[in-house]
Amino acid sequence: MFDVVAIGELLIDFTPAGVGGNGAALFARNPGGAPANVLASSSRLGAKTAFIGKVGDDDFGRFLKDTLDELGIDTHNLVLTDDVHTTLAFVHLDSSGDRSFSFYRKPGADVLLREDELDLNLLRQTGILHFGSLSLTDEPARSATFKAVQTAKDAGAVISYDPNYRAPLWNSREEAVEQMKAGLAYADVVKLSEEELALLTGETDLNAGARELQKAGASLVLVTLGKKGAYYRLGDRSNILPTYDVHTIDTNGAGDAFTGAVHYGLKGKSLKELRSLSTQELETIIDYANAVGSLVTGKSGAIPAMPLREDVLDCQMKVPHLIVED
Q: Which residues are CB-neighbours of 60 under 8 A, at least 6 positions away?
A: 12, 29, 85, 86, 88
- Is residue 58 scored above 70 in pLDDT? yes
pLDDT confidence of 300, banded at 50, 70, 90?
confident
Q: What is the pLDDT of residues 99-151, one digit of tens each?
A: 677 889 989 999 999 999 999 999 999 999 999 999 999 999 999 999 999 99
User: Where does 194-270 have alpha helices with state H?
Assistant: 194-201, 206-215, 254-266
- Is residue 21 scored above 90 in pLDDT? no
DSSP string, 86-142: PPEEEEEE-TTS-EEEEEE-TT-GGGG--GGG--HHHHTSEEEEEEEGGGGSSTTHH
Q: Mean per-residue pLDDT for 156-161?
A: 98
pLDDT confidence of 232, banded at 50, 70, 90?
very high
- Is residue 325 scored above 90 in pLDDT? no
Question: Computed from CA positions of residues 268, 236, 159, 150, in that sequence, does the dihedral angle turn out positive or negative?
Answer: positive
CA dist., res. 17 & res. 293, Å (int): 21
- Please give the pLDDT value at position 95: 65
The full set of domain ranges for the chain reads: 1-8+33-85+106-316
CA dist., res. 281 & res. 284, Å (int): 5
Q: What is the pLDDT of residues 79-96, one digit of tens each?
A: 999 999 999 988 877 766
- Please give the pLDDT value at position 184: 97
Q: Phi/psi of residue 186, each to 5°?
A: -100, -15
CA dist., res. 57 & res. 79, Å (int): 9
CATH of span 1-8+33-85+106-316:
3.40.1190.20
